[in-house]
Structure 1
Amino acid sequence: MLIVDVCAFYSDRGGGVKTYVRHKMLAGPKRGHEIVIVVPAREAGHERINEHARIEYVPGRRFPLDGRYHYFHDERALHKRLDALRPDLVEASTPWACASMVANWRGGAPRSLIMHADPLGNYAYRWFRGVAPRDVIDRSFDWFWRHLRRMDARFDHIVCASDELAARLKAGGLRQVVTNRMGVQPGIFSPAHRDDDLRRRLLNWCDLPTDALLLLGAGRHAPEKRWPMIIEAVTASGFDRPVGLVIAGDGRARASVQRAAAGNPHVRLMAPVTDRPAFAALLASADALVHGSESETFCMIAAEARASGVPMLLPDGGAAADHLVSDAGYHYGAADSGSLARAIGQFLEDGTKEHLNVARAAASNTRTMDAHFADLFALYEQHDVQAAFAA
């Protein structure tokens, strides 16, 4: 099959979507499929990944909220490109205009909408959670639910990476929902990468001794990641116990994260670690991962922490919650710094050793991207078989 992914949010400087797309271009050809990723960019171009996978860059407009990305603005040009490619299946990677453009294409190929984004979770629920219950928020954003139901009627699959998102979409009236959990890149993350000297150096950077608790956060500096809330909780936890926090990341909310960390020598900010083996060592060397977003569609960093044998402190909502290993960390009340501070306190009371042992024992059971794509392509191949019989 020729599978074309109309991917609105891919960037060489991106995070989870880039990781996902790059692995798809390796996994597809192994099953005999050709993969073409169509990406909006400043100018046209192409990048050959292997004999059966490539990225095609088409002219797009700069995304105003993040200069790393562009967006599709010319539906006719996109349809013309799809006509020329003649795909056997088309994917759209976000539920916004990208999905509408793919739905409007007159070609006869089956279509899948991959829910890499959860706009209601990222925006509506986060903005209004303090003033209205979720069912009221949903009614206020019924225009978006109507849009999703229109897409559901025009796509063959709405692919979700978590049970929580899939359940919400089904409750909202969507019928083509398929749950296919994503996974980590195989062969990269492991408890074996734990480096006690790296841990010591990170704690020293946080102006703390080696018997302190080392928490790690990683991800974009964006409002939905709630870094200031995490820093507030860590600061409160550290008044009478030594707790250090290192956050690896960057983004448009950098200034607010810097302000939150200012004045606390036990909280350090570092640039994103793009070298995967180096990041695997950083992750495995922490005493726990701390994460703040309750609106993840999968939460790649939590999956990578699980594969690294690291306990986690995770919000009790969204896809992140699914990754917690029982007795290897805690859930806390989403968006509640006091609840997170109490979870950190309980983690310290327990002592990290048993949590780490449980996390390390469970690491090898972490789902990989190979398993995700095997399931995804098997779903697509059903359409290929049906088309062959129809012919």
Structure 2
Amino acid sequence: MRIVDVAEFYSPTGGGVRTYIDRKFEVAAQLGHELFVIAPGPEDRFEPRPSGGVFWVRAPRLPFDANYYMFWDAAPVHKHLDALAPDLVEASSPWRGAWVVARWRGRAARSMFMHADPVAIYPQRWLASLASPDRIDQWFEWFWRYLRSLRGHFDSTVAGGHWLAKRFEQHGLGPVAGIPLGIDRAAFSPTLRDEALRSRLLEACGMPHDAKLALAVGRFHPEKRWPMVIEATVKASKTIPIGLVVVGDGIDRARVRRAAAGQPNVHLIPPIRDRPLLAAHLASADVLVHGCDSETFGLLPAEAMASGLPLVGPNRGGFADLAQPASAEIYPSGDTDAAAAAILRLFARDPAPLRSAALEAAGRVRHDIDHFAELFDHYQTLVKPALDPSITVATPAAGGARP
């Protein structure tokens, strides 16, 4: 099967979408599929990859995030689609890229992959002090109408987690195929724990080797709530010695740096692109502290789990769906004091059972090969009906069952 992903937010310096698509290329090759990505960038060029490659289409830079570009002219994208003649076209965002796919005249099957919940990322965070999430959903009914209108141009909608599939179905986008994401399990392991690395990280935080090492990893974006994570960890460190290492960069760097300024036990380091080095950092810490409540799945928390790391994070979104009670603590989203209390609760546990539970949780993290196999199976069910309208097929339900 030949798949083309029109990926509006794919960038060499991006976050989870970049990680996901890079791995998608590798697994597609393993499973015998061709995969091509069409993405906006600074110039027109082709970049070969396993199983296919990336067609970069020259486009203007996104005004509010220099990591990304935005599709403008549909013609170059349609030209690539015509030349590639795919079996299935995936739109991996609900914005301009999805409309470019919707208006292409080719006969391929089409699927919209929802990598995020825009209402949870933005309005529900901005307006949290004014109204409940349900009320904010009501205020943004116009956006849900927009998504329903867009959905009508696609044969299928996919969400990378069951909780998100159910949420979209509640707003009339159904049926939505809930196909949980996964991680490259071979790249992350508790056996990568490095005590020397742990000591160096604690030293960078000005903490002794017997202090607790907390790790926070991800793009510096407002949805990640890193200033809150920093404040909560510093608050907890007034009770027990904790050093916090924050790994990342992005458009919210000024607020993150202000939050860390004057906190000697907080150390900021740039994004770690070397996957084995990132895996060693995750395996060598004592806790991952997370703040984002709007993730589809939570790739970084899943990688931390696979590394045997206990977790502290919010009670909404992909994190809450992923975390195991025996090796994690949950706090009400956005509540700094509650997050600090959750960190202290985790470290108040008996270390031996906590370590054992974290190691057990590591073995239960979903492999990304299973995700992609399920995704490609779902796409295969859409291909023949697209070529022959007399064939009909049901879309998998949010529970993940496939016909």
Assess if the C-alpha contact under 8 Å between 2:327 and 2:361 holds in 1. no
Moved more, 239-248 or 279-288: 239-248
Give the 3 Å change call, closer, same or farther, for CA 309–219 of structure 1 in structure 2: same
Q: Tell me the equivalent position of 1:70.
A: 69
Moved more, 26-35 or 366-375: 26-35
- Superposed CA deviations along residues 258-279 of structure 1, whole A, max 9, x for unmatched, are 1111111111101111100000
State the 4+ residue runs in structure 1 displaced beyond 3 angstroms: 384-391
- SS class of match (2:40): strand
Q: Tell me the equivalent position of 1:23.
A: 23
- SS class of match (1:71): coil
Q: Tell me the equivalent position of 2:36.
A: 36
- SS class of match (1:265): coil
How high is the TM-score relative to the length of structure 2?
0.93
- Superposed CA deviations along residues 349-379 of structure 1, whole A, max 9, x for unmatched, are 2144322221112212211110100001111
Q: Tell me the equivalent position of 1:2.
A: 2
Rounded Cα–Cα distance in structure 2 between residues aligned with 1:210 and 1:80: 58
Q: Tell me the equivalent position of 2:90.
A: 91
Moved more, 160-169 or 54-63: 160-169
- SS class of match (1:54): strand
Assess if the C-alpha contact under 8 Å between 1:190 and 1:308 holds in 2. yes
Q: Tell me the equivalent position of 2:14.
A: 14
Rounded Cα–Cα distance in structure 1 between residues aligned with 2:329 and 2:358: 12
Rounded Cα–Cα distance in structure 2 between residues aligned with 1:352 and 1:69: 43
Rounded Cα–Cα distance in structure 2 between residues aligned with 1:352 and 1:215: 15
- SS class of match (2:126): helix
- Superposed CA deviations along residues 180-205 of structure 1, whole A, max 9, x for unmatched, are 01111131000000111111111121
- Superposed CA deviations along residues 63-90 of structure 1, whole A, max 9, x for unmatched, are 1111121110112332232222211100
Rounded Cα–Cα distance in structure 1 between residues aligned with 2:316 and 2:93: 21
Give the alignment's Cα RMSD to 1 decimal: 1.5
Given residue 151 of structure 1, which amino acid in structure 2 is its aligned partner?
L
Q: Tell me the equivalent position of 2:318.
A: 319
Alignment of 1:151-190 (within 5 A): 151-190=150-189
Q: Tell me the equivalent position of 2:401.
A: none
How far did residue 31 of structure 1 move?
2.6
Given residue 283 of structure 1, which amino acid in structure 2 is its aligned partner?
L
- Superposed CA deviations along residues 12-39 of structure 1, whole A, max 9, x for unmatched, are 1222111111121122233322111001
Assess if the C-alpha contact under 8 Å between 2:109 and 2:386 holds in 1. no
Rounded Cα–Cα distance in structure 1 between residues aligned with 2:268 and 2:339: 20
Given residue 73 of structure 2, which amino acid in structure 1 is its aligned partner?
D
Rounded Cα–Cα distance in structure 2 between residues aligned with 1:238 and 1:164: 33
Rounded Cα–Cα distance in structure 2 between residues aligned with 1:201 and 1:138: 46
Give the 3 Å change call, closer, same or farther, for CA 135–326 of structure 1 in structure 2: closer
Rounded Cα–Cα distance in structure 2 between residues aligned with 1:226 and 1:314: 11
Moved more, 279-288 or 11-20: 11-20
Within the alignment, does 1:303 sit opposite 2:271 as a pair? no
Give the 3 Å change call, closer, same or farther, for CA 228–388 of structure 1 in structure 2: closer
Q: Tell me the equivalent position of 1:222.
A: 221
Give the 3 Å change call, closer, same or farther, for CA 345–387 of structure 1 in structure 2: closer
Give the 3 Å change call, closer, same or farther, for CA 379–74 of structure 1 in structure 2: same
User: Gapped runs of 5+ residues in structure 2?
Assistant: 392-403
Assess if the C-alpha contact under 8 Å between 1:155 and 1:176 holds in 2. no
How far did residue 388 of structure 1 move?
7.4
Assess if the C-alpha contact under 8 Å between 1:95 and 1:117 holds in 2. no
Assess if the C-alpha contact under 8 Å between 1:3 and 1:88 holds in 2. yes
Give the 3 Å change call, closer, same or farther, for CA 103–387 of structure 1 in structure 2: closer
Given residue 220 of structure 1, which amino acid in structure 2 is its aligned partner?
R
Rounded Cα–Cα distance in structure 2 between residues aligned with 1:336 and 1:136: 19
Rounded Cα–Cα distance in structure 2 between residues aligned with 1:387 and 1:221: 41
Q: Tell me the equivalent position of 1:241.
A: 240
Assess if the C-alpha contact under 8 Å between 1:191 and 1:307 holds in 2. yes
Moved more, 199-208 or 86-95: 199-208
- Superposed CA deviations along residues 139-190 of structure 1, whole A, max 9, x for unmatched, are 2212210111112222122111122211111110112311001111131000
Given residue 2 of structure 2, which amino acid in structure 1 is its aligned partner?
L
Within the alignment, does 1:354 sit opposite 2:340 as a pair? no
Within the alignment, does 1:199 sit opposite 2:162 as a pair? no
Assess if the C-alpha contact under 8 Å between 1:287 and 1:352 holds in 2. no
Rounded Cα–Cα distance in structure 1 between residues aligned with 2:212 and 2:279: 19
Rounded Cα–Cα distance in structure 1 between residues aligned with 2:278 and 2:85: 39
Moved more, 275-284 or 11-20: 11-20
How far did residue 385 of structure 1 move?
4.6
Assess if the C-alpha contact under 8 Å between 2:155 and 2:382 holds in 1. no
Aligned length: 390
Q: Tell me the equivalent position of 2:288.
A: 289
